[in-house]
Amino acid sequence: MTSHYISVEEAQEKGKLLRGKEYWWEIPDEVYKKIEKVVGSQWVTRDKVARLAYICRGYNREFIWFAGQAFPPCCVVLPATAEEIAELVKIFNQHHLPYCPASSGWIVSATPRFRADVVLIDLQRMWEWKIDAEEMRLTLGPGVRYGHNAQGCFEYDCWFMNPGGGSAACVIPNHLNWGLSPLNYRMGNAERRIMGVEWISPEGDIVYMGSWSQEEDGFWGDSPGPNLSGILRGHVGQHGSMGIVTRMSVKIFSFLEDTPEVLVPEGISPRTHLAFKDLDKVRWVNVQFPSREAMQDCIYKLSHAQIGAAITKVPVFWRVLAASRDGVDYKNTFWEHWDKVTKEEIDNFHILRILICAFTSKEQLEYEVHVLEDITKEFGGKIRRTKPSDESWLKNADANGMWMMTSGYVSCDGAQESLRCAFATGERLGNLLFEKYGPPVFMNEYGDPGWWQSNDFGHSGYLEFLVYMNPDHYDPLSPFYKEEVWAKMLKWYLEEVPDIDAETGCTNFFCADSIAMLYQGPHFSDYQVWIDRFKEEFDPRILCNPPSPYDTEQLAELFPSWLKKSRALMRRAKRGKSTILGTPGHQATGIGMKGK
């Protein structure tokens, strides 16, 4: 019997307490038959086993599933075309049935939360992938994932960014969300590379944006009239609750000559990698610096010189994580190394990784390497031996590996700021975590200041701060649950991190839909009011992917009473549109239907 086993009876009792409502909700026959007529009986199901498969995926796990707020959808439907989706949305509107679109399901908002009467629209059948390497653009459907996309582009000597969120993420939603990767250094944010968009509005209309609004050609992101694409945004927008994007054309970039021959998949699991077969065409360079300040200054100078294709500084524990794959038991191997690390080592360990590519010729690569050597030498940097391969940026982004060390992980800060702000925020977070929030709440990171990268040739810097938790202590269904650990975690996320963001002026976009400090309130021009107005205009019944955007006042009610500061801030943010707690006619046990 597993060490984590609890009896079925105990699980049921605790589950009921956590959820506060029924787990299953059955879609009325009348509505189900209408859906069947649109997509065919093979592509809709209300089978319970099928519905269970769509509970909680990816980043949802820690705060939604464990909190008992992940529910199986009332049915799962897999449409094949935009026309089918438009019809479905009209049916859902007619019957007041909430729905949630999902491609990979990797992000928090891509799964039913807080209620059981949601239809899950699985978009993975909507497959399209057409590349124009000469004009450097790609048209694709919602089912396409970054990992496949990367290989496809390579075969045409092109490339695109691969997000830190993982190769498993789908291109359309991640691009809309923000689209962040070290490759943004040269390519810019993915969301700025969106051109044509085919969108099903929450009213069920098919709307075309960009040059698709005028013609067949999805070449251009703008078109006459207001640019509507802003209302589709993720982290700083509607969080996946403004209709469904069914097709997109994106800009891609030209890459290396004969890319598939230069980047060759090699190795047997777990040691697989893209081998660099020609170091005159592509290489990573690791540079070690004598101090953090020197590294930070160097990042600026390298960026202004516009050399390289990526400049990134990763947390030290990622390096240890990668090395742990040589052990038969990764977790134990990781901890054998990590337990021996000291703060002093972290304070003195400054490695920057730079990707150099021969976009034009090997002479160009040589030139850039010379410039890199000159600049890094100025700051005391020493070039270190670097593996001639890529394990996790160009094609495979190991987001799921993040959970390996402790089986619980979340990023508490994700921001695009000036480089200086990103550095300062990461350092403050690293120090506070080390001083006050170490084990058993979070893994000791010894003050590591997080993951930084330079974007847009140094115009902005990206910071992501990752923390690692022990699910045994914050999963209420675990026999080892510790309320005090959960309380400290909440305090960190909802109060400490936003406080530091406020001090350094860092605009953290993670959880912007739920944390009152982020993009809400008078400091941000009451931006949430505009979010609500758009939602009110297009989806007044809040059927598209509730409860995004969150009603922070209702959310405050769900948090413990001792979280006074955060609750007070949430109430001040003044939002009141979503239905987390439910209002008459919108409860999870039975949503109102016309004529019923």
Partner 1 sequence: MQNGKAKPVTFSLDFDLRNYLWDSKVCLACAMCKYGDWIYAVSPEVYDFGWICPEWEWGVIDHYGTSGRARLVNALLCGDIEPEYPTVKEVAFRCHLCGGCDMADKRNLELEPLMMHEALKVYLVDRGIGPMPEHRTIAMRIERKGNYFGKNPKERMAWSKEAGIKVAEKADVLYFVGCYASCKYSEIAQAVAKILNKARVPFMVMEEQGCCGYMLFVSGLLKEATETAKRTVKQIRDKEIKTVLCDCADCYRMLKVEYPKMIGIATKDLGFEVLHIAQYAANLIKDGGIKPVKKFENKVTFHDPCGLGRLSEPWTPWEGIRDPDDWGKLKPPRNFRRGTNGCYEPPRDVLRSIPGVELVEMFRHHHNAFCSGSCGGVREAFPEQQRFVTDVRMREADYVGANVLVTANPRSYEVFAESLARLQNGGMLRNIEEIDKRFSGNYTFKSLKKKKLSLESVHDLTVLLASVI
Positions 7 through 46 that interact with partner 1 (CB under 8 A): 8-9, 11-12, 14-15, 17, 23, 45
In whole angstroms, the minimum distance from the beta carbon of 86 to partner 1 comes to 14
* Residue among 403 and 538 whose Cβ is closer to partner 1: 403
Work out whether 477 is an interface residue with partner 1 (CB under 8 A). Answer: yes
- The residue (of 254 and 418) whose beta carbon lies closer to partner 1 is 254
Q: Report CA-CA distances (Å) from 393 to 146, 163, 412, 426.
A: 11, 8, 21, 22
User: Is the alpha carbon torsion for 261, 134, 209, 140 positive or negative?
Assistant: negative
Note whether 319 binds partner 1 by CB under 8 A: no
**By CB under 8 A, residue 240 contacts partner 1:** no
- Contact positions with partner 1 (CB under 8 A) in 84-113: 104-106
Pairing of strands 206-209, 44-45: unpaired
Instruction: Specify whether the CB–CB gap between 116 and 74 falls below 8 A.
Output: yes
| Position 323 contacts partner 1 (CB under 8 A) | no
Minimum CB separation from partner 1 for residue 113, in Å? 15
CB 230 within 8 A of CB 217: no
Residues 285-314 that bind partner 1 (CB under 8 A): none
Can residue 245 be called a binding residue for partner 1 (CB under 8 A)?
Answer: no
Q: What residues from 112 to 141 belong to the interface with partner 1 (CB under 8 A)?
A: 122, 124-130, 140-141
Quick check: bond before 270 cis, omega within 30? yes
Looking at the DSSP assignment, which residues form a beta bridge with residue 159?
Answer: 253
| Helix or strand run (H / E) with residue 91 | helix 82-94
Point out which span in 296-304, 328-336, 365-373, 533-541 binds partner 1 (CB under 8 A): 328-336
Q: Interface with partner 1 includes 330 (CB under 8 A)? A: yes
With CB under 8 A as the contact rule, which of the stretches 229-237, 280-288, 467-475, 568-576 interacts with partner 1?
A: 467-475
Closest alpha carbon to 470 in 437, 503, 504, 432: 437
Nearest-5° Cα angle at 247, 243 to 249: 125
Asked if 197 contacts 248 with a C-beta cutoff of 8 angstroms, the reply is yes
The amino acid sitting at 388 is P
Rounded to a whole number of angstroms, the distance between the first and last alpha carbons of the chain is 48
Site residues for partner 1, 47-86, by CB under 8 A, read 47-50, 52-58, 61, 76, 78, 80-81
Figure out which of the listed residues 100, 150, 176, 467 binds partner 1, where binding follows CB under 8 A.
150
Asked if 106 and 166 touch (Cβ cutoff 8 Å), the reply is yes
Residues 493-522 that bind partner 1 (CB under 8 A): none
Give me the least distance between CB of 378 and partner 1, in Å please: 36
- To partner 1, the closest distance from the beta carbon of 247 in angstroms equals 9
Q: Report, in Å, the least distance between residue 445 CB and partner 1.
A: 13
Q: How far is the CB of 167 from partner 1 (least distance, A)?
A: 4
- Integer CA distances (angstroms), 327 to 30, 334, 391, 403, in order: 56, 8, 17, 17
**Does residue 407 belong to the site contacting partner 1 (CB under 8 A)?**
yes
Handedness of CA 532, 23, 44, 80 (dihedral sign): positive
Does 332 participate in binding partner 1 (rule CB under 8 A)? yes
Instruction: Mark 218-254 as b/e (b = at least 16 C-beta within 10 Å).
Output: bbbbebeeeebbebbbbbbbbbbbbbbbbbbbbbbbb
Verify binding: residue 483, partner 1, rule CB under 8 A: yes
Binding-site string for partner 1 from residue 380 to residue 399, where x marks contact by CB under 8 A and - marks none: -----------x---xxxxx
Separation CA 509–CA 512 (nearest Å) = 5
Determine if 446 is a binding residue for partner 1 (CB under 8 A).
no
3-class secondary-structure state, position 140: strand
Closest contact distance (angstroms) between CB of 129 and partner 1 is: 4
For the bound state, the minimum distance from the C-beta of residue 563 to partner 1, rounded and expressed in Å, comes to 18
Residue 307 Cβ vs partner 1, minimum distance, rounded to whole Å? 27
Positions in 159-218 near partner 1 (CB under 8 A):
166-168
Q: Counting contacts by CB under 8 A, is residue 443 touching partner 1?
A: yes
Of 83 and 293, CB closest to partner 1: 83
74 burial level (CB within 10 Å; 0-12, 13-18, 19+) = buried
Among 230, 270, 438, 592, binds partner 1 (CB under 8 A): 270
223 counts as binding partner 1 under rule CB under 8 A: no
Q: Give the CA distances from residue 417 to residues 1, 158, 244, 464, in Å, rounded to whole numbers and listed in that order.
A: 49, 28, 29, 11
Considering only 213, 223, 254, 272, the residue that binds partner 1 (CB under 8 A) is 272
Q: Does the protein bind partner 1 through residue 471 (CB under 8 A)?
A: yes
